[in-house]
Structure formats: C-alpha cells, structure tokens
Amino acid sequence: MTEPLAISFTETDLEAVAEASGVVVVFAESGRNLGLAGRRVNRLTHGALKRAVESEAFAKLDHGSALRLEWPAGMAAELVLLVSLPRRCEVSVARKAGATIARALGAKGGLVLAESHARAAEVSFGLALRAYRFNYHSAETPAYGPVRFMANNPEKLAQEAQPLAALAEGVFFTRDLVNEPANILTTSDFAARLAAMQELGLDVEILEEADLETLGMRALLAVGQGSESPSKVVVMKWNGGAEEPPLALIGKGVVFDTGGISLKPGAGMEEMTMDMGGAGTVAGVMRTLALRKARANVVGIVGLVENMPDGRAQRPGDIVTSAKGVTIEVINTDAEGRLVLADVLWYAQEHFAPRAMIDLATLTGAVIVGLGHDNAGVFSNDDAFAGDLLKAARQEGEGAWPLPLQPSYDRLIKSRLADIKNSAGRPAGAITAATFLKHFVAPEVPWCHIDIAGVALPPTETELAPKGPTGWGVMTLNRLIADKFEG
C-alpha cells in the first residue's frame, strides 16, 4: 500500500534552521509575538517574518491558512511558510494547517518548527492525509520529501502522533483500494489484500461461491454470475475487547459496476471502479483498529462481486431468493448493491448477533442528487445510534446528513410477483434503496446505512485529500468505535 509520508519528531535545534532545505514552516498568531524558532527565522531573514506576521494580509487569513515567503534571503530553504495557527485551536484547524503545509511541500521535504504547540500531532496528521499520492501505475507521480517536526518535547509528540499514524494508514489503504482499476483489483485480488491483514492480527475468513451457495446467498450470487471473477464474502474479525457481541461493519464491494444487462451509458463508466468504496472503507477501519490495537470487538464483512453483462448474467425480471428467504424481483440489474448487501447484512446479523450494524455503500446516484459531494446520506432504525454516528462524523470533519426511513416508503418497493423489488425508479431513490435494506435487518438491532456514492470519490480535491478517493468514513467510524465501543 501507499506508505504515509515520512514524518519524524526531533528536539528543537535552532542552529539547524538556516541550513534546512525545502519548506520551513513557522506557526504564528496575528497580534502575538513570535516564538523562539520564529524569532530565529526572523533574524535570518532580516526582519521579513515579523513584517509578514504584522501585516494586514496575515491578520485576514483564515486560521490554518498561510502566507508564503519565497526564496528567503539568509536561509537555504526555498520557502518559509507562515501558518496562521493560534496556540489554542480546534483539531480541525490544526489538520487544515497540516493540509496547507502538504500543498506547499515538494521533493525536498521540510522542517516544521512546532516548538510546544499543543496540536502539533494533529498538524502532522492533516499533513500526512493531504500528502497522499498514488503512484502504482505511473512513475511520473513525484514523491514528497521527508518532513521533520522540531518540538520541545518530541517524545511526547511522537506518542500522540502514533494512533493518528495508524488512522492515516487505514485511510490510505481505503484510498488505494478505491484507486485501483478493476482489472487489477479483481474480487480475488481484493480478497487476497484483505487476507494479508492477518499479519496485523486480524482474523480473516474468505467465503467462496460454494460456501455462499450453501448459505443460500442467491441475491449476492446473482449479481456476480455474469462475471469471470468469482464472488466472495470476506469476514475480518478484530477481537480487542472483552467477551461482548461485536459491532458489525458491512461493505458493498462491487469491483466494477457496468450495470449488468441494464447497462450503464458509456460516458463516465470508468468511475465505477470505485463501486467497492464501502468495502474499502470497512477494510481501512479494520486496518486502523488492528494497527492501534483497539479495545473493541468489531467484525468487518464485505461482499465482493463484479456486475457484468454476459450470457449467464441475471436479467431484468428475474426473481431471486435471498439468504433470509425474502424473494426479490430484479427490476433493474443496475440496482445490484442492495442485492449484495441484503445477503451480507443478514449473514452478519445471524452469525454474529452484533450489538449494532453499520453498512457503507456507493449505493445510489440519487444520494448525489440530494446531497452532492459534501455529505454522505445516513439512514437508521435507531435515532440515538444515528446521533452518535453523526456526532463522530462532525468531530472528524466528514460530511454526513440524516435522511428519512419511514414505513410510508415501504409501498414503493412492493412487487407484483415477489416479496419486494429492487428498484422503484427515480422518486426518493436513495430512500427506497435504504428501505430495501431495512428488510434484512431485525428492528431491534441498531443499524445505520450510509450511502457514500457522493463522498467516496468526489470530482475535486477536498481539504484533507488530493483529487481522488477520500477514504470517507475511516475517521468517523474509528472515532465512533473509540468513543462508544471501547471500554
């Protein structure tokens, strides 16, 4: 996987500032005096830094943004980055400051004069996330040079940064999976990458097509039956808690979604390599939990399939029987994600008797119509549980917004021939998808469905990710687990 940027933490050494190459970063607050390291940079630059700190331009900057002093006289650096960062600042501001540093970074790396800033670990985290670069398939993607944080207590800072580095690694794992094209990330390759996480202490089990057949997962298998790649369900267990039922995380892992016989239009179809984003997020969370040895029991279960048109592919009008026994009329083979999740949700509930379940899926275009790329859509059968999830998302700065799941929508997915149908057309498209999933969750099990179609791969860069996959949800779910599931 893509390794996060090399960040080291060392003792403050003012003598090294003049010779540092690349970017030298100074934190300052408008209206306040510079710290020791800032004063050193100011002396080296013959007063330029102080003038910048006292400027109106600096006073007007948003916290976390920066002024650039390029090719400073008196220093070996190419750039002094003057970051507006109050001593007492929110986590989000510190992460934004880190992202600002990443955007200024080049091949020569940099030196961050963190001194005793209380949020320096969060700065390093924002820096790592924004400095993600996926270069498996092109050597032309240049790498960033290493970054050194000089701090008054580097051991303490390194300790604070450790769980955040585990989180960054989880996010990177998700982003890599979403970036990989479908000829490389086949269902088998995906399963192998998950199995490799056994080295981290996760217990990984792969259910093959014959097993899924035995379990009666005809809804999931029907989606994959037109593909040369075998359908699989992968179960990842992290048992870091006491004897208690686990939290179950379920992910849609459609490695490519052509739409099947209900074929999608050609323009933009290449984006459907990201249709395994839900499974990618579940995998990233499991990786983080293992890396930081979380004190919680969590099981991650992903359904890996490819939705292809073929002589053996399922047809519109087919009726399949899910593992639960609910029969489904397949109106549209492009509404495949819910067929996969139906069987995986049921399996999670029946085999693990979870305390709670959360599924993540790039499930509908309709959620993008409703919420754009700023928020994932959150549906739940339990307001308190949804509240916890939304709070975690807010704390981590990942957009999430509640959408309704009332019984009145049930009628929209009634089928003439089977128990339910998999598509109700355009009205309330994200809600009817969630309503479909509701049939496979017992009402007494707290459950959230998160439609991440708009946030997994937004069209532009975001604060903490370059253009490409965000890894949406790894931070939120890690926070939720830390706050609500760890004793």
Would you name the residues annotated as active-site residues? Answer: 264, 338
CB nearer Mn ion, residue 307 or residue 470: 307
Q: With contact defined as beta carbons under 8 Å apart, do 235 and 207 qualify?
A: yes
| 254 versus 437: smaller Cβ distance to Zn ion | 254
Q: Please identify, among the stretches 42-50, 212-220, 331-339, 358-366, the one whose residues bind Mn ion according to the rule CB under 5 A.
A: 331-339
**CA–CA gap between residue 477 and residue 277 (Å, rounded):** 14
Q: Looking at 132-140, 214-222, 256-264, 281-289, which segment touches Zn ion (CB under 5 A)?
A: 256-264
Sequence-separated (6 or more) residues with CB below 8 Å from residue 420: 326, 327, 328, 329, 413, 414, 436, 439
**Choice from 123, 335, 371, 376 touching ligand BES (CB under 6 A):** 335
End-to-end CA distance of the chain: 31
Residues 6+ apart with CB under 8 A from 441: 345, 349, 357, 381, 447
Residue appearing with tokens 């580097």: 154
Nearer to ligand BES by Cβ, of 423 and 435: the residue is: 423
Query: At its nearest, how many Å lie between ligand BES and the CB of residue 243?
Result: 38
Q: Which two tokens stand for residue 57?
A: 């331009």
Q: Which of residues 251-310 bind ligand BES (CB under 6 A)?
A: 257, 275
Q: Considering the rule CB under 5 A, would residue 334 count as an interface residue with Mn ion?
A: yes
Stretch of 11-19, 126-134, 358-366, 437-445 lying at the interface with ligand BES (CB under 6 A):
358-366
Does 257 help bind Zn ion (rule: CB under 5 A)? yes
252 labelled binding-site residue = yes
Is 275 annotated to bind a ligand? Reply is yes
Nearest to 201 by CA among 277, 304, 288, 303: 288
275 interacts with Zn ion by CB under 5 A: yes
* Selected range binding ligand BES among 191-199, 362-370, 383-391, 464-472, rule: CB under 6 A: 362-370
- 401-440: contacts with Mn ion (CB under 5 A): none
- Interactions with ligand BES, residue window 412-451 (CB under 6 A): 423, 429
Show the site string, 206-245: x = touches Zn ion by CB under 5 A, - = not. ----------------------------------------
What is the identity of the amino acid at 484? K
451 class by beta-carbon count within 10 Å (0-12 exposed, 13-18 middle, 19+ buried): buried
Rg of the chain (C-alpha set): 24
What angle is formed at CA 360 by the lines to CA 284 and CA 227, rounded to 5 degrees?
90
- Tell me the closest approach of the beta carbon of residue 268 to Mn ion, in angstroms: 13
Name the E strands within 308-399: 319-321, 327-329, 356-361, 376-380
Tell the smallest beta-carbon distance from residue 257 to Zn ion (Å). Answer: 4
Q: Tell me how far CA of residue 123 lies from CA of 40, 99, 154, 446, in angstroms.
A: 21, 8, 14, 35
Give the angle subtended at the CA of 234 by the CAs of 284 and 240, to the nearest 5°.
Answer: 55
Q: Under the criterion CB under 5 A, does residue 396 sit at the interface with Zn ion?
A: no
334 lines the binding site for ligand BES (CB under 6 A): yes
Is 109 a binder of ligand BES (CB under 6 A)? no
> Is position 257 an interface residue for Mn ion (rule: CB under 5 A)?
yes
Q: What is the closest distance, in whole angstroms, from the C-beta atom of residue 65 to Mn ion in the complex? A: 40
Question: What are the structure tokens assigned to 406, written together?
Answer: 């009332």
Residue number with the smallest Cβ distance to Mn ion = 334
Least separation in angstroms between residue 413's CB and Mn ion is 16
Tokens 């020791």 belong to which residue? 36
- Binding of residue 451 to Mn ion (CB under 5 A): no
Q: Which is nearer to Mn ion, 336 or 396 (CB)?
A: 336
Strands 79-84, 66-70: pairing is antiparallel
Task: Name the token pair of 382.
Answer: 């339990």
The partner in contact with residue 240, picked from Zn ion, Mn ion, ligand BES, none with C-beta cut-offs of 5 to 8 angstroms by kind, is: none
The residues near 308 (Cβ < 8 Å, ≥ 6 apart) are: 226, 227, 228, 256, 258, 260
Residue 343 tokens read as 């069987």
Based on CB atoms, which residue is closest to Zn ion, 367 or 445? 367
Nearest distance, CB of residue 55 and Zn ion, angstroms:
51
Q: Does 381 bind ligand BES (CB under 6 A)?
A: no
Strand partners, 360: 251, 450
Please indicate if the annotation marks 336 as binding a ligand. Answer: yes
180 binds Zn ion (CB under 5 A): no
Question: Could you say whether residue 398 binds ligand BES (CB under 6 A)?
Answer: no
User: Which is closer to ligand BES, CB of 326 or CB of 482?
Assistant: 326
* 446 Cβ contact partners less than 8 Å away, ≥ 6 residues apart: 355, 356, 357, 380, 381, 382, 384, 385
Q: What share of the chain is helix, strand, coil (3-state, %, to 5)?
A: 40, 20, 40
Are the C-beta atoms of 83 and 34 separated by less than 8 Å? no
Question: In terms of CB distance, is 260 or 284 closer to Zn ion?
Answer: 260
Q: Which is nearer to ligand BES, 150 or 457 (CB)?
A: 457
Q: Which residues are annotated as a binding site for Mn(2+)?
A: 252, 257, 275, 334, 336
Residues at the contact surface with Zn ion, assessed by CB under 5 A: 254, 257, 275, 337
Binding site per annotation, positions? 252, 257, 275, 334, 336
User: What is the binding site for ligand BES (CB under 6 A)?
Assistant: 257, 275, 332, 334-337, 362-366, 423, 429, 453
Positions that interact with Mn ion (CB under 5 A): 257, 334, 336
